[in-house]
Structure 1
Amino acid sequence: MTTESAPDWVLPRRQRIGRRLCALREDRGLTQIQLGERAGMDHKTVHRIEYAITDPSLSMLLRLAAALDVEVAELLVA
């Protein structure tokens, strides 16, 4: 099994997704704790996604989008 580093363009795109998630959350007046509860995940996970510390899975993005009442594509466009 090989471990490769992600290409240089991955982190900036993850950061854009995190900023978009944060903006949508704040537009709805939600805290990270409240969004986490709505999405069925820990608020620390929400924090890690917003700050591009972790790679969110597709399932996580789908749950967050549903909790924010948006299409998952809205999290991916900035």
Structure 2
Amino acid sequence: MPSAGPPPDWVLARRREIGERIRTARLYANLTQEKVALAAEIDRPSVVRIEQGQQSPTLDTLIRLADAIGVPLSDLVR
């Protein structure tokens, strides 16, 4: 089994794409990062890092974000 090192570039690029989808959906819903963080029960800095592709969210966090924004999970991770 390969060692757990930094993710490959293509994974980082996909993470940034998902973060941008989250940001776009949030802005389309006219929600602030603070409102989404409160509704998703996560801290605002985590929302910022996820949107910027700097943090890899868990599936549970993605589900919470989709629910907080009011979009299907599939819209965020397609």
With the length of structure 1 as denominator, give the TM-score of the two structures: 0.91
- Residue in structure 2 matched with residue 45 of structure 1 by the alignment: 46
What 5-or-longer segments of structure 1 have no aligned partner?
A: none
Runs of 4+, deviation exceeding 6 Å: none
Per the normalisation by structure 2, the TM-score is 0.91
SS of residue matched to 1:9: helix
The 5-angstrom pairing of residues 20-31 of structure 1 reads: 20-31=21-32
Once the 2 structures are TM-superposed, how far is the Cα of residue 3 of structure 1 from its aligned partner?
3.0
- Structure 1 position 5, deviation (Å): 2.1
SS of the aligned residue for 1:63 comes to helix
Unaligned runs of 5+ in 2: none
Identical residues among aligned pairs (%) = 38
What amino acid maps onto 2:73 in structure 1?
A: V
Equivalent position of 1:12 in the other structure? 13
Partner of 1:54: 55
The size of the alignment, in residue pairs, is: 76
Between the aligned partners of 1:17 and 1:46, the Cα distance in structure 2 is 12
Determine the C-alpha separation between the residues in 2 that align with 1:31 and 1:68.
Answer: 10
Deviation at 1:52, TM superposition (A): 0.7
Task: Give 1:34's aligned amino acid.
Answer: K
How far is 1:68 from its partner? Answer: 1.3
Offset, 1:71: 1.4
